[in-house]
C-alpha cells in the first residue's frame, strides 16, 4: 500500500491518501447523513449531511493521530518513518526497520491504540458537557465511539493488526526468538483472517446481510498481509542463519605481486573483461592485498614495464572484509551501504578464504529457502551487481536488525 496521493507532511513524515480512502469518505458521509436525518429531524437535511461529512473527515484525523502514535514512538527509537498512508481499511505507517528489542517493539505497537483510547475517553467526557442532541454533541460522541472501535479492532491479536505486533513482542520476549514470534503472530493473523472471510460469507449467504462482504474483504486483506509478514520473516531468518562460509566462492585470482603491469594487462584482456573477477596479489606466499584494476587505467604506458602489481595492491587490512562466520545479513548490509561489488572473506589466519558477490548471495540464500535460481540468472546478477527485482535481498537486509546474540563468537 505504498502508492497514494501525497497531500503534505507532518513531523517530516510524508502523508499520502490512497484513492480507496475517497470511497470511505463518500460512504461514511452518505450513511451518517441518512442516519442523522432520521434520528434528528430538527437538524434539517443540510445540517445532517454537513455533520456527516465533518464526521467522516474527523475519522480521517483520528486514523492519522493513531498512525502518528506509532510513528512518533518509532522515531523516538531512532527509526525512520517513510510515510503514513490512509486507505480503505484505515491507515498504515511505513516504518523503515523494526525495533531492537521486544520491549521497544511493544511500545511502537501499543502507541497507536493508546492514542485512540485517550482520544475516545476525552471525547466521551467532552460529549457529556455539551447540550444533548446538538450537532456538536452528536459529532463528539460519534468520534469518541469511532476511536474506541479503532483501538479495540486494532488490538485483535493477529498480524497485520497492532494486536498481532503486541503478540509478536510478547512471544519474542518469552522465547528470545524474533522469527518464531513473527511466525506465531502471522499464523494467528491467518486464522483470524480466514475466520473473518468465512463469517462474512455466512452473513451474506445465510443472513442476507451485505455487511458480510466488507468483513470478508477485510479478512482477505488480513490474510495477504499476514502471509507477507511470514514470507519476509522466513527470508530474514535465512539471512541470519546463512554464513559467509556457506556463501563464498573461489571465483577470484591471486597473481604474483612481482608481475609487471604490462604482463597483467595482457592477461587481463585475454580473460574476458565481462566478469567482475576480483584480483589479489601475493609475494612469496604473503598477500600484498587486493588489486585495484581501475588505478592502473591512469598509468602512463611508459611505466607499464617498470611498475609491479604489488605497488597497486590495497592491503587486506584496508579493504572491506568479513570472517567465515559472518551472517549473510551483515554481508549484504555492508555491500549495499558501502556500494561494493564483492566482499572478501578472510580465513582465521588472515588470508583470503573466498569472495562473495550478489549472485552468490542469491544462490545460497535461495538454497536455504528451497528456491532454485537458474545459473543464467545467477550469472546475470553477478554481471549487473544488482539483486533481482523479485528477490530484493538488499532492501530486506537493510530493514533487518542485526542480532549480535546469534553471531558465532569469532
Ligand atoms: Zn495501529
Residue 409 pLDDT: 34
Of 13, 189, 169, nearest to 91 (Cα)? 13
Q: Are 408 and 347 in contact (CB under 8 A)?
A: no
Catalytic residue (choose from 67, 98, 237, 324): 67
CA of 208 to the centre of ligand 1 (A): 31
Residue 2 pLDDT: 52
Of 103, 74, 235, 80, nearest to 168 (Cα)? 103
CA of 177 to the centre of ligand 1 (A): 23
> How many residues are recorded in the chain?
410
CA of 114 to the centre of ligand 1 (A): 9
Residue 274 pLDDT: 55
Integer Cα distance of 330 and 339 in angstroms: 13
Residue 121 pLDDT: 95
CA of 63 to the centre of ligand 1 (A): 8
Active site residue 367: no
Residue 402 pLDDT: 66
Angle at 52 between CA 49 and CA 53, to 5 degrees: 90
Per-residue cell: 218 = 477485510
CA of 383 to the centre of ligand 1 (A): 42
Per-residue pLDDT of the chain (410 residues; tens, 9 = 90+): 457 788 888 898 999 988 888 888 888 888 888 888 888 888 888 888 888 888 888 988 999 999 999 999 999 999 889 889 888 877 888 887 888 899 999 999 999 999 999 999 999 999 888 888 788 888 899 899 999 999 999 999 998 899 999 999 999 999 998 889 999 999 999 999 999 999 999 999 999 888 889 899 989 999 998 998 888 888 888 898 899 999 999 989 898 988 888 888 888 777 655 567 889 999 988 899 998 887 788 888 888 888 888 888 999 999 999 999 999 999 999 999 999 999 999 999 888 999 999 999 999 999 888 888 999 999 889 888 899 888 889 988 888 876 544 333 33
Q: Which residues contact 92 (CB under 8 A, 6 or more apart)?
A: 1, 67, 84, 85
CA of 357 to the centre of ligand 1 (A): 39
Residue 405 pLDDT: 40
Q: Where are the beta strands (DSSP E) in 139-296?
A: 253-256, 279-283, 286-291
CA of 74 to the centre of ligand 1 (A): 12
Residue 106 pLDDT: 95
3-state secondary structure of 93: strand
Residue 135 pLDDT: 82
CA of 168 to the centre of ligand 1 (A): 14
CATH number of 244-406: 3.10.580.10
Bond from prior residue into 160 cis (ω within 30 degrees of 0): yes
CA of 47 to the centre of ligand 1 (A): 32
Residue 410 pLDDT: 33
Backbone φ and ψ of 313, nearest 5°: -90, 140
Of 223, 40, 218, nearest to 133 (Cα)? 40
Assign 3-state DSSP to the chain and report helix, strand, coil percentages, each to 5. 60, 15, 25
Query: Any idea what DSSP says for residue 310?
Result: G
Per-residue cell: 96 = 523503515
Integer Cα distance of 82 and 105 in angstroms: 17
Which DSSP helix (H) or strand (E) runs through 91?
A: strand 90-95
Per-residue cell: 67 = 498512525
CA of 162 to the centre of ligand 1 (A): 5
Q: Are 219 and 203 in contact (CB under 8 A)?
A: no
Per-residue cell: 176 = 528470545
End-to-end Cα, the chain, rounded Å: 42
Buried b (16+ CB within 10 A) or exposed e, 133-153: eebebbbbbbbbebbbebbeb
Integer Cα distance of 187 and 257 in angstroms: 57
Amino acid at each position: 500500500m505504498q502508492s497514494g496521493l501525497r497531500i503534505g507532511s507532518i513531523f517530516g513524515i510524508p502523508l499520502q491518501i490512497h484513492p480507496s480512502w475517497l470511497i470511505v469518505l463518500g460512504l461514511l458521509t452518505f450513511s451518517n447523513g441518512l442516519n442523522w436525518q432520521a434520528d434528528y429531524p430538527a437538524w434539517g437535511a443540510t445540517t445532517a449531511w454537513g455533520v456527516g461529512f465533518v464526521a467522516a473527515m474527523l475519522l480521517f484525523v483520528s486514523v492519522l493521530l493513531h498512525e502518528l502514535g506509532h510513528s512518533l514512538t518509532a522515531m523516538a527509537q531512532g527509526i525512520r518513518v517513510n510515510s503514513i498512508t490512509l486507505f480503505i481499511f484505515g491507515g498504515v505507517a511505513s516504518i523503515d526497520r523494526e525495533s531492537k528489542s521486544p520491549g521497544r517493539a511493544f511500545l511502537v505497537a501499543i502507541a497507536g491504540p493508546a492514542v485512540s483510547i485517550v482520544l475516545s475517553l476525552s471525547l466521551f467526557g467532552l460529549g457529556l458537557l455539551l447540550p444533548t442532541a446538538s450537532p456538536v454533541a452528536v459529532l463528539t460522541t460519534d468520534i469518541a465511539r469511532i476511536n474506541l472501535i479503532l483501538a479495540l479492532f486494532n488490538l485483535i491479536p493477529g498480524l497485520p493488526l497492532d494486536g498481532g505486533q503486541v503478540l509478536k513482542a510478547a512471544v519474542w520476549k518469552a522465547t528470545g526468538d524474533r522469527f518464531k514470534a513473527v511466525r506465531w503472530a502471522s499464523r494467528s493473523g491467518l486464522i483470524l483472517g480466514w475466520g473473518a472471510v468465512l463469517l462474512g460469507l455466512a452473513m451474506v449467504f445465510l443472513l442476507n446481510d451485505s455487511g458480510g462482504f466488507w468483513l470478508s474483504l477485510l479478512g482477505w486483506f488480513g490474510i495477504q498481509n499476514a502471509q507477507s509478514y511470514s514470507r519476509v520473516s522466513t527470508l530474514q531468518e535465512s539471512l541470519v542463519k546463512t554464513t559467509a562460509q556457506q556463501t563464498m566462492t573461489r571465483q577470484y585470482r591471486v597473481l604474483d605481486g612481482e608481475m609487471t603491469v604490462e604482463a597483467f594487462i595482457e592477461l587481463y584482456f585475454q580473460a574476458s573483461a565481462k566478469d567482475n573477477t576480483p584480483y589479489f596479489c601475493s609475494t612469496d606466499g604473503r598477500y600484498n592485498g587486493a588489486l585495484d584494476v581501475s588505478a592502473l587505467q591512469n598509468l602512463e604506458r611508459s611505466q607499464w614495464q617498470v611498475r609491479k602489481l604489488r605497488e597497486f595492491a590495497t592491503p587486506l587490512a584496508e579493504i572491506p572484509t568479513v570472517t567465515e562466520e559472518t551472517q549473510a545479513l551483515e554481508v549484504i548490509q555492508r555491500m549495499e551501504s558501502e556500494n561494493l561489488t564483492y566482499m572478501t572473506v578472510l580465513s582465521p589466519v588472515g588470508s583470503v578464504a573466498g569472495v562473495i558477490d550478489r549472485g552468490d548471495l542469491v544462490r545460497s540464500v535461495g538454497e536455504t529457502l528451497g528456491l532454485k535460481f537458474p545459473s543464467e540468472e545467477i550469472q546475470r546478477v553477478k554481471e549487473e551487481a544488482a539483486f533481482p527485482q523479485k528477490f530484493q535481498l538488499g532492501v530486506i537486509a537493510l530493514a533487518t536488525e542485526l542480532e549480535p546474540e546469534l553471531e558465532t563468537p569469532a
